[in-house]
A and B are shown apart, each in its own frame.
Chain A
Amino acid sequence: MEIFKENDKMARLIRANYHLLPVINRFGILPGFRDKTVSDICEEKKINKNFFLAIVNTFHNPEFFPQKELLECSPVLIIDYLIRTHHYYTSYVLPKMEQLLTRLISGCTGKCSELNTIDAFYKKYKKELLNHIEYEETVVFPYIKDLEQNIQSPDNKKYSIKQFKEEHSNVENQINDLKNLIIKYLKPVYNVNVCNEFLITLFRFEKDLLDHARIEDHILIPQVVEMEKNKKK
């Protein structure tokens, strides 16, 4: 797997891996960039070049994880990226999956109760995911931002990242289960092309979520643990 560099043309990154399209969108980069390099575009849009490259390379290559470089990035930069990722999930991916599920159910040709059960399972998963995202954006991220600026608020006094670590619910299991239930056990009484589209969306979503979790678990949380330690001194 190749590692992208600042002098690479942005178009090259996308031709090498089109799954990077939503990732670059999170930095406000949209197609139509002609032959500009990563460096050109980052300078134009005032994006931290090293952070951008660390994120796209990590996404592109699961074995690549430039821990040291990412740990040196400001947590606020990381949080900003994570929030935009959440927005992509809630405004595009989840609605898309729901539309596909609705189409699957309405096109059901045989016994539809199984599909309805899958639908119920998806709804439960979605609710847990949305709760998790809301918790991160309303509690965890503001706490981290305050910590970084040394702001002490009454809510924050007793909170620590340890609570987040304990509550960081593993939604990965459920998305894995949803995949396996459809691939292995659901009888195909539906439009197979719609189902394939649903599964493909699910596979891509799962990969994105794993990448997202990696950044939260191995970069953001260790950074915060360090900040909390320094604060105590």
Chain B
Amino acid sequence: MNTKFFIFHPSQIIQKGLSTILKEYFLFEIISITEMEEFDLFSFTDDEFIILLGDIEWCMSERVFTRIKSYPGIKIIGISPSSESKPVYPDLDHTINLFSTPGEIYTKIVSCTGELEGNTYNPEDEELTSREKEVLKLVATGHSNKMIADLLFISIHTVISHRKNITKKLGIKSISGLTVYAIINNLIDTSGINPDDLI
């Protein structure tokens, strides 16, 4: 999962301050914006996880909040001016204020993400399951999702889910990249064919 932070705040001081704090804990890309129009110019893929820290005093009117909330999978952390301000929208995932400590901000973000991509090592994360290896072999040999689903007696939705997990574990996204991985790791029998033709 590719994670991106957006800081949606009219104050450059707050933008830079928050950005500095986030960089102490996370390696993700951080983008600062001051208007909703800027956010609209971004297009997100299915494997991107967006966390938006947005000012609730000036930037996020109800209309804007609803629009942001419509982006699938987005998490919204409201920034209020002080600890006494009540959160305006009950659908906010969390709120922080200008007196929140870096530790508090970190904790709230981690509870949104549940896991940190690339920052923690878990041996189980890397090893492909035998089912995933089966799917990978078929992807590498040019089979479509539908063909894979039929051959393995699973749904297309499950095939896509396996492919997302494979990409996440290996860090490889393209089909030709996955093919190279499969060849290098002897998952495909290349004795009869020129491996270059597969790629």
Contacts and interface: CB of A to CB of B under 8 A. Distances in A.
Interface of A: 62-63, 65, 67, 113-114, 116-118, 120-121, 124-125, 173-174, 176-178, 180-181, 184-186, 217-218, 222
Contact of B184 (A65, A174, A186): A186
Contacts of B177: 121, 173-174, 177-178, 180-181
A116 B184 CA distance: 10
A117 B199 contact: yes
A67 B173 contact: no
Contacts of A121: 176-177, 180, 199
Given A121-B180, A174-B176, 5 more contacts: A113-B195, A117-B183, A117-B184, A174-B177, A177-B180
B88 to A, nearest CB: 27
A124 B171 CA distance: 19
Contacts of B171: 176-177, 180, 184
Interface residues of B, number: 25
A65 B180 CA distance: 36
A181 B181 contact: yes
B186 to A, nearest CB: 10
A90 B199 CA distance: 22
Contacts of A177: 171-174, 176-178, 180
Interface string B177-194: 110110111000000000
Contacts of A174: 174, 176-177
B102 to A, nearest CB: 19
28 contacts: A63-B19, A63-B30, A63-B31, A63-B32, A65-B31, A67-B38, A113-B195, A117-B180, A117-B183, A118-B180, A120-B199, A121-B176, A121-B199, A124-B199, A125-B176, A173-B173, A173-B174, A174-B174, A174-B176, A177-B171, A177-B172, A180-B171, A181-B180, A184-B171, A185-B184, A186-B184, A218-B42, A222-B41
* Closest 7 pairs between A and B when the two form their complex, measured CB to CB: A177-B177, A120-B196, A173-B173, A180-B171, A173-B174, A177-B172, A121-B180
Nearest to A222: B41
Query: Chain A contact residues: over half helix, strand or loop, or mixed?
Result: helix
A204 B191 CA distance: 36
A63 B38 CA distance: 13
Contacts of A180: 170-172, 177
B199 to A, nearest CB: 5
A53 to B, nearest CB: 18
A121 B177 CA distance: 7
A184 B171 CA distance: 9
A188 to B, nearest CB: 13
Contacts of A178: 177
Contacts of B31: 63, 65
A32 to B, nearest CB: 35
A118 B196 CA distance: 9
B134 to A, nearest CB: 19
Contacts of A113: 195
Given A185-B184, A186-B184, A222-B41, A117 B195 contact: yes
A177 B184 CA distance: 14
A185 B42 CA distance: 32
A146 to B, nearest CB: 25
Contacts of B42: 218
B62 interface: no
